[in-house]
Amino acid sequence: MRHNQKVKLARAQAIVADVIANASGPVSVWVVDGHGELLAAASMDGAAHDTKLNAQRKAYTAARSDARTTRELAGKIAGGEVPQSFDPFFTFFLGGVAVFEGEERVGAVGVSGLAGEVDEQLALGAIERSAGR
């Protein structure tokens, strides 16, 4: 079943700390469980106010959609594919990445504040470096 597990709090906090430590400028980061509910978050000093909602929506989208990233979901839509699940809170901005334990989606990370490609790389790197926590 898709939502049996969730990202452990220690890992969620490690992801937040990693994103903050590696960001080249002010960002907001959200880590959510498989339902898209908040586990850990932070907004760096100087992060634009709207980055909080954007990070939340990116994480929510990556947790709840059938895509592994917001980039992947945007590509599906652009290609004419209708996702298996859709929600009006979904976003197509880069920076939302699902977290997996094996093949099971257990949560997601959303980063907002820099260029979308950078937001996405911060999320991917933090997920990779937090594995096993």
Mean pLDDT by 10-residue block, N- to C-terminus, for the chain (133 residues)? 71 98 98 96 98 98 93 90 78 96 94 98 98 83
Structural domain contains residue 99: yes
- What pLDDT sits at residue 85? 66
Q: Is there a domain that residue 2 lies in?
A: no
Residue 84 C-alpha from the chain's centroid = 19
Domain contains 80: yes
User: What CATH number does residue 53 fall under?
Assistant: 3.30.450.150
**69 found inside a domain:** yes
Q: Count structural domains, the chain.
A: 1
For residue 110, list its beta bridge partners. 30, 96
pLDDT at residue 2 in the model: 46
Query: How many Cα atoms occupy the beta-carbon half-sphere of 70 within 13 Å?
Result: 30
By residue range, what is the domain housing residue 58? 9-129
| Residue 1 counted as domain residue | no
